[in-house]
Amino acid sequence: METPRSNDKQKVRSAEVGTDILKALAELSPSTSLSRLAEHVQMPASKVHRYLQALIASGFAEQNAATNHYGLGREALRVGLAALNNMDVLKVGALPLAELRDDLNETCFIAVWGNQGATVVHIEPAVRAVTVVTQLGSVLPLLSSSTGLVFGAYLPKRETVDLREQELQSGSTHALADDQAYKALCEQIRERGLHHVHGLLMPGVDALSAPVFNAVGNVAAVMTIVGPTSLFHADENGPAAQRLLAATRAVSWRMGYQSTIPSDKT
């Protein structure tokens, strides 16, 4: 006779198996055969079939009548969308940003794309006498900051074209006024996955930026390290760059991003 405890263990195990099958359906999406699914989860097809029937009954899976293939159902979509809506890049990125600041002892911040451009929304200042003052709410230029240039490389052109024209008209001839030069720089940023500037926005200050992606592969934010040139070396091949990339990739993964870096959107 089974005890209440053994019944609980069996229920937990059943839930774990059901979760494994749901994950496999997501990984093999949009649809897959029973045999391929069984091979993927390394379970007998008869066992997988039993769980699939339960998942179909609850709306978490569905079967295509024409192909007999299985895929995720409406309830799985609803749960997934609820999880995505709860993914706040500031909440997800706060701890990695603080850890990045602690590792490098340089000012680090997160910016999102707002109505006026790249806007600083969270800052972790360096803990030392010589620091770089970056104001919360500051709007950084598209063409004269590493943060803005990274946004420009990954955002659709329609979202940045007006701001680029405004900046080009506001002063003397800019090095990126030429469309081909700007496009080439954006391609270079996408190839490397980050960008650095030396005193471009502020003399004596270096900056290093990298993108954070959301679940559908769009840039959700840009994480940046800034510091005085005398102390901070914004080398794209240096240890600070590697630490920055590790942080942005971790936040992107937490946001649901698992694909390759998005293709040319300029």
Q: Where in the chain is the domain with CATH 3.30.450.40?
A: 89-254
Return d(Cα 111, Cα 138) in angstroms, integer.
Answer: 9
Please give the pLDDT value at position 263: 41
In the sheet where 139-140 sits, what is the strand order? 139-140, 117-124, 107-114, 219-228, 205-213, 195-198
Q: Compute the chain's Rg from CA coordinates.
A: 24
In the chain, which residue ranges form alpha helices assigned H by DSSP?
4-27, 34-41, 45-58, 74-85, 89-104, 146-154, 157-169, 179-192, 239-254
Note down pLDDT in tens along the chain; length 266 residues. 555 565 667 767 888 888 899 989 988 888 899 999 999 999 999 999 999 999 999 999 999 999 999 998 888 877 766 655 555 888 899 999 999 999 999 999 999 998 788 989 899 998 875 556 678 888 899 998 999 999 999 999 999 998 998 888 866 567 788 889 999 999 999 999 999 987 666 667 889 999 999 988 999 999 999 988 777 777 888 899 999 999 999 999 998 887 544 444 44
Cα angle at 221 between 216 and 227, to 5 degrees?
Answer: 150
CB 69 within 8 A of CB 32: yes
Q: Into which CATH architecture does domain 4-85 fall? A: Orthogonal Bundle (1.10)
**Token reading at 109:** 């911040």
Q: With respect to CATH, is domain 89-254 assigned 3.20.20.220?
A: no
DSSP label of 88 = -
Question: Which pTM value belongs to this model?
Answer: 0.67
Q: Where in the chain is the domain with CATH 1.10.10.10?
A: 4-85
Other CB atoms within a 10 A radius of the CB of residue 139 amount to: 17
Return d(Cα 171, Cα 50) in angstroms, integer.
Answer: 69
